[in-house]
Chains A and B, each alone.
Chain A
Amino acid sequence: MIGTHAKDSIERIFFAAARTRLVTDQQHACDIAPRPGVAAQGEHLVVLTISSMQFRLLLLLHFEDDERTRRYYVGDAARTLTECFMEFGNLCCGAMNQQLVEHFPDLGMSTPYALSSGCLPYLRELKPDSVQSYAITIDREVRIGATLCVCTQTPLDFVASLAAIEAHDSAGELELF
């Protein structure tokens, strides 16, 4: 069971992480809007997990392998979009992990894994307590999707300090995880 404060805190932590880690340039705009349902916004899916003794949180980032997205994330590199996007997803999840560890000392984070977005509807198999999807527009042209899925073992509620999130957000420090 997840409390409203916890849902709100996780969402704010995600917003802060996405705005600093899913962009290739800190000056780029990153608009995030909640959207109903769990429909994917692209064919590809990158999934990461943060686990603790109280809960596990899955961050699922979905995207289309189109020209705009490739240009934004791959540029001139000789790598696939999925490979590049996994790195950005890893940074984003790492930033969330750093915020959450302030409230839950025992946390661990997985490595990213690429799946088909056809997997997304089966999140229900994990019996989640909360699933929320978001539409993300980066630099006004790149559209990706994100889904936050929280499964709890015990009642979960906490309030993340807004000042701490903003301080971490503006620090722009390198993630070490």
Chain B
Amino acid sequence: MAGVAVVLLYLIEGAALIALAAAAAAAWHKRTQTQARDAALARDAAHAAALAQAEARHAAQQEEAAREQGTLAAQIESLRAELAQRKSVADALEAALEGERALRDEAMQRAGRIASEASRLKLMSSTFERWHEQMISLMAQNSDMHKKNHELSSIVSHVLIVSLNASIEAARAGAAGRGFSIVAGEVRALATRSQELSKSYRDSLNRNDLITAATFQDIQAGGKMIAASLASVESASNQLHTQLEAARSGAHA
């Protein structure tokens, strides 16, 4: 009995242990289940949170993307407008440049024409040479007239002396020479008038010489002045033409 009791005790103890173990196992199982449930719930919550976070992030990213897209679209529109404006400015500049090119080409042509005209007008020196020759001829003629007048003056002086001698001889002849004395007096008077006329003629020639020489020299000096001015104009025009040519070459390069 004791044995049974012991066995029973043992059994009871065993059952208790088993029950205890079962209880422990059940508790463990329950706790495990609870833990697993809790873990699953936690996971679910974490997943939900992560999902919500991901969704929020996604939404934020979408919003950001939409914003960026809007910004980009605005920038593209702005760039298009700027491009159009720049194109318009470039077209205007090109048109202005074309106009400037045309003006420059015209200026070059004009500078070339001025230089050519100045160069051509310098040939007027041949006209001055012609005037010079004619003036020399005129002065030579004046000189010849001076000589002839001088010769005439010598003759008149001689006639005057002869008439004086004739008057003396007529006076010596007395009454017979009275008529000859009158003639001699007339000749002397004519010779005196001729002498005065010759002097007046010489003065006229001197006056003529001075006016002719002064006038010619004024023309000659004025001609040199004009030639120098034309040379200056030609030089300036050539320089301008060269500068414009260089500018055009630079623009094409």
Beta-carbon contacts of A99-117 to B below 8 Å, as 1s and 0s?
0000000111111010110
Min CB distance B205 to A, Å, is 9
- Is A81 part of the binding interface, using a Cβ–Cβ cutoff of 8 Å? no
Q: Are A106 and B210 in contact (CB under 8 A)?
A: no
A51 to B210, CA, bound (A): 16
Instruction: Name the residue in B203, B209, B210, B220 with the highest tally of chain A Cβ atoms < 10 Å from its Cβ.
Output: B210
A121 to B218, CA, bound (A): 19
Q: Pick the residue among A58, A107, A121 that contacts B214 (CB under 8 A).
A: A58
Min CB distance A45 to B, Å, is 9
Measured between beta carbons, the chain A residues less than 8 angstroms from B217 are 47-49, 51, 58, 110-111, 113
Q: Are A51 and B207 in contact (CB under 8 A)?
A: no
Q: A106-B225, A126-B214 are in contact. Are A111 and B207 (CB under 8 A)?
A: no
Q: Are B226 and A108 in contact (CB under 8 A)?
A: yes
Min CB distance B127 to A, Å, is 14
Measured between beta carbons, the chain B residues less than 8 angstroms from A125 are 207, 210-211
Interface residues of chain B: helix, strand, loop or mixed (majority):
helix
Residues of chain B touching chain A, judged by Cβ–Cβ distance below 8 Å, are 139, 146, 202-203, 206-207, 209-211, 213-214, 216-218, 220-229
Residues of chain A touching chain B, judged by Cβ–Cβ distance below 8 Å, are 47-53, 56, 58, 106-111, 113, 115-116, 118-123, 125-126
Q: Are B213 and A47 in contact (CB under 8 A)?
A: yes
Min CB distance B212 to A, Å, is 9
Measured CB to CB, the nearest residue on chain B to A52 is B225
A110 to B218, CA, bound (A): 7
